[in-house]
Every structure is written in C-alpha cells, then in structure tokens.
Amino acid sequence: MPHGEFARDLLAALAKRPRQLSPKYFYDAAGSALFDRICELPEYYLTRCELGLLSAHAPEIAKHMGAEAEIVEFGAGSLAKIRLLLDAVRRPGRYLPIDISGEHLAAAARRLQQDYPLLEVLPVVADYTKGLRLPPRVRRGSRRIGFFPGSTIGNLRSDEALRFLKQAAVLLRGGALLLGADLVKAPAVLHAAYNDAQGVTAAFNLNLLARANRELGANFDPAGFAHSAFYNAGLQRVEMHLMSLRKQDVSVCGRHFEFAEGETLHTENSYKFTIDSLQALATHAGLRPGPVWTDKHRRFGLLWLHAPS
Ligand code: AVJ
C-alpha cells in the first residue's frame, strides 16, 4: 500500500470528531507479527476455535467444495488456515489469496506453492473491500469457492459487510462462500480476549502510533496513550481505542492536532454475530444459507453460503 494512503486517512481521522481510523493500518510488519502473537494468547479463543472447526470438518467442507475448485481467500494473511482445507481436498485446482500487503502475501504464497506443487497459486494484491476484479476462471464452469475466515467481516460496518457479501455473490456465482465469524457471547469472555494479561493486544493497538512515527515522521508519544477495549453491548461489537492520558499536541506530516485528556482515536470495531443475523445478512446479499459448523460453546461459527448461478 502506498504510504500516501496511510497519511491521507490518518490526517482525515485526526481532523474529524469522533476520531476514527480503519483497522487495516494495524498490519505493517510489526503489527502483523503482533497479531500472530495475539492468535496464540490463551484469552484469544477466536483463532483456536476456528482452526479446530476447520480441522474437524475439513473432509466434509472439502466435499462441499468439490474437485478442482478454485478457492479465493479474502484477506489471506499467513495462509495457515487454507492448508487445513487443501489437505482434505483430493484434487486441488487453483488458489487465489487476496491481500493488501503485497510483500507478506508473495512470501506466504511462495511457501505454500512449495508445499503444494500440484496447486496453482495465484496471489492477488488488492483491497477486497473495494471493487475487485479477478482473473478469468481456469475453465468455464469451474467452481469458485470463497473463503473469508477470522471474523474479519466483523471489522466492517454493516453497509460495508453487505456490499462485500453482494460482491462475493457475484464473483462466486455458481459456487459458495465459506465464512468464519465470531459469535455474541458473555461480555467477560469478549473483554478478556481484547485485554489480554500479557498486554500483546495493547502493544498491537499502540503500534499504530509507532507506525505513524516511523512512516510519517509523526511525533506521537506512545507512553501518552493507553489501550482501551470494551464490549459495546448495544451495538454488539468490541471497540478498540487509543486514549490520550493527558492534554497533548501531536504533529503528523507538519500538521498539528490537540488531544484532550481522555480523548480517543477509535482504531477498530469487531462486530459479534448470531448465526441468524449472519444468515439474514447473507440472504439479503443474494447468498443462500447452507450448512453451519460451530463449537460446543457456540463461540465461533463457520457458515457455508451458496452463491446462486
Ligand atoms: C483479525 C480483525 C478478526 O477483530 O478480533 C485482534 C483483530 N483486534 N485483537 C479481531 C484483533 C484485536 C481481529 N480480526
């Protein structure tokens, strides 16, 4: 991603009230490494739960995918989850991981290609929340299966989520979308997942300021801000903020901004869903709900959503 976009969005976020920035800017190299550590935390059940569902049901999911399917992964990251599915697919067709971070994606795609020599791996550098064009299908009639794991859908506003699902319904016509999403649950469990004892999530959140300092020559004092994460029950979402601990001035790209004590920069929303709310949203987007896989505590859901032809 060009640095210009980060500068532009951060300046715009600081200029408006309330101050809010897209969570996509968490994921520079340091932020991606911190996110990988979050996935290993005892409190952060999401990744473990989803990996458990994927490995337990991979044979059944592979049957739904069919032979020589073309798998399109939205926001592909480290490409760990897809391996569980690829291992269960008899004849893999083509795999198109889509991510905004080109370097990260290219390296992960090379490693995957080495481990699955028969699979055609075709990385696509793009922002899948914007209009997305994919290379033509390998063969006419080959089935396209979308994969959107990690509850990344929870980072989108409801209008963005709807737009994404509508786009998926078109791109995957005749195939299906496998969607992983975090479910509404006891606030204490959610609170712990975003306020871990080791402070890794706090470091992940605060890295945004360090990134602005590194890339944009900003002068944020990371010690002058605190990690704040809480469950907003009315809106069914965990909110993350960076809260100014005192009145302070910050300069970014030569422009000055004042933070009052207690004022925040809103850095992320993580919406939580019910199976019903997800299926209703998907139906509204033109997808047709199919099988659902969930764990015994109903913490996380994997939904199969048909894309009609
Ligand atoms: C990868 C966006 C799903 O919202 O739970 C983890 C990112 N933020 N801890 C999430 C995240 C704080 C994560 N998603």
Give residue 130's pLDDT: 84
Q: How far is CA 85 from the centre of its chain?
A: 18
**What's the gap in Å between 161 CA and the centre of ligand 1?**
16
- Using DSSP, state whether 303 is helix, strand or coil: strand
The encoded tokens of residue 106 equal 């290219």
Percent of the chain beyond pLDDT 70? Answer: 99
Convert 115-151 to b/e letters by CB count within 10 Å (16 or more is b): ebeebebbbbebebbeebeeeeeeeeebbbbbbbbbb
Q: Which uninterrupted H or E stretch holds 283?
A: helix 275-284
- Using DSSP, state whether 99 is helix, strand or coil: strand
**What's the gap in Å between 118 CA and the centre of ligand 1?**
33
**What's the gap in Å between 275 CA and the centre of ligand 1?**
19
CA distances from 81 to 13, 27, 161, 178 (A): 33, 18, 21, 12
Q: Answer yes or no: are the C-beta atoms of 244 and 225 closer than 8 Å.
A: yes
| Average pLDDT score over the chain | 94
pLDDT at 266 over 70: yes
Give residue 135's pLDDT: 87
Residues 276, 180, 50: CA angle, nearest 5 degrees: 120
Q: Which residues line ligand 1 (CB under 6 A)?
A: 38, 46, 150-152, 154-155, 194, 201, 268, 270
Ligand 1 atom closest to 270 (CA): 4
- Using DSSP, state whether 20 is helix, strand or coil: strand
Pocket probe mutation, ligand 1, options 152, 164, 237, 268, max atoms within 8 Å of Cβ: 268
Mean pLDDT of 38-45: 97
Mean pLDDT of 223-238: 98
pLDDT at 2 over 50: no
DSSP state letters, 242-286: EEESS-EEEEETTEEEEE-TT-EEEEEEEE-B-HHHHHHHHHHTT
Give residue 3's pLDDT: 54
Q: Which uninterrupted H or E stretch holds 284?
A: helix 275-284
pLDDT at 288 over 80: yes
- Structure confidence by residue, pLDDT tens digits, 182-215: 999 999 999 999 999 999 999 999 999 999 999 9
- Structure confidence by residue, pLDDT tens digits, 45-99: 999 999 999 999 999 999 999 988 999 999 877 788 999 999 998 887 899 999 8
Phi then psi for 178, rounded to 5 degrees? -100, 115
pLDDT at 256 over 80: yes
**What's the gap in Å between 270 CA and the centre of ligand 1?**
7
Residue nearest atom 11 in ligand 1 by C-alpha distance: 35
Pocket probe mutation, ligand 1, options 129, 155, 241, max atoms within 8 Å of Cβ: 155
**What's the gap in Å between 151 CA and the centre of ligand 1?**
8
**What's the gap in Å between 39 CA and the centre of ligand 1?**
9
* Nearest one of 16, 57, 46, 30 to 155, comparing CA atoms: 46
Give residue 292's pLDDT: 98
